[in-house]
Structures are given as C-alpha cells and as structure tokens.
Amino acid sequence: MVSRKEWYARVNAAWPAELPPLTADEAVKAARKLWRWGLGEKYRSKIEVTSGNRYTWERYGVLSVNPTSTRHGGGWDAFIHDMSHLLWRRANGRDVKPHEKGHAKFELSMRKEVLKSAAGSVARSRKNRNRKSRPQ
Ligand SMILES: [Zn+2]
C-alpha cells in the first residue's frame, strides 16, 4: 500500500518540467480549465488576479488567483497546490482533511493535467510559428 508520504513524494517528483511562465492571463485560463477538469462544471463566477502572500482561493463567489505567490515554491507550484486544495474541498465538503491521501493523488493528477495542457499549448504555438517553414 502506498503511504500518504509516498503520495506526496510522487507529487513532488512529477515536477519540475518545462512550463510557460505563470502570467496573470495564464493563471486565469488555467484556473478555469482546472475547475472544469476537477469538478466537471464550468466556473461561472468572477476571477480576479491577486498578489503578495495571498492564497489562490475562492471567497464569496470570487476566485482570486495569485500568479506571483512565493509560498509553496511559488509560480505553478503554489498555484497548483492552492487550486488542488480548493477543488478537493469543493468536491468533498468542508469537513475533509486537507492532506489526506486522496488529496495527494488528486494534486498529482492535477499536475499531470497542467503538464499535458501546457505541452499542448507549447506545441500549438510552435506549430503556428512554423506554419510556413519545414515540418517537424
Ligand atoms: Zn497542501
């Protein structure tokens, strides 16, 4: 049986990889995508960009995303970490423990999802750039 600690080790091992920098636009887009991915429904409320040491979190129907957080390794790390807790709680209710084993699996698959979609957008922009040049 895989222990909780081992699951979190896997979460960290799935990183780092080549990702575009987490800009404000990228964070808003990724938040929408991950919401749909994690909860199976479209996020219809407001998303705003925040900064400083605030978490990426939803309060009073506003999803605040912080692309410049320095917590939890900053950048994508912090963003995915916070989003995974937010969506985990949304999916499982308020009483769920934040670091139970199921959460680590969830965070790991969220990271894989981000990598997959980042790889897709890198490939697409490369394709656009190279449209008239040699095929890859
Ligand atoms: Zn955590």
Q: Which domains does the chain have, with CATH numbers?
A: 22-121 (3.30.2010)
Report which of 119, 113, 54 is spatially closest to residue 84, judged by C-alpha positions. 113
Tens digits of residue pLDDT in 8-25: 777 777 665 567 789 999
- Please give the distance, rounded to the nearest whole angstrom, from the Cα atom of residue 43 to the centre of ligand 1: 22
Tens digits of residue pLDDT in 90-125: 999 888 887 877 898 999 999 889 888 876 666 666
Is the bond preceding 16 in cis, omega lying within 30 degrees of 0?
Answer: yes
This prediction's pTM = 0.81
- Please give the distance, rounded to the nearest whole angstrom, from the Cα atom of residue 81 to the centre of ligand 1: 6
- Please give the distance, rounded to the nearest whole angstrom, from the Cα atom of residue 132 to the centre of ligand 1: 45
Tens digits of residue pLDDT in 58-83: 999 999 999 999 888 888 889 999 99
Whole-number Å distance between alpha carbons of 97 and 34: 21
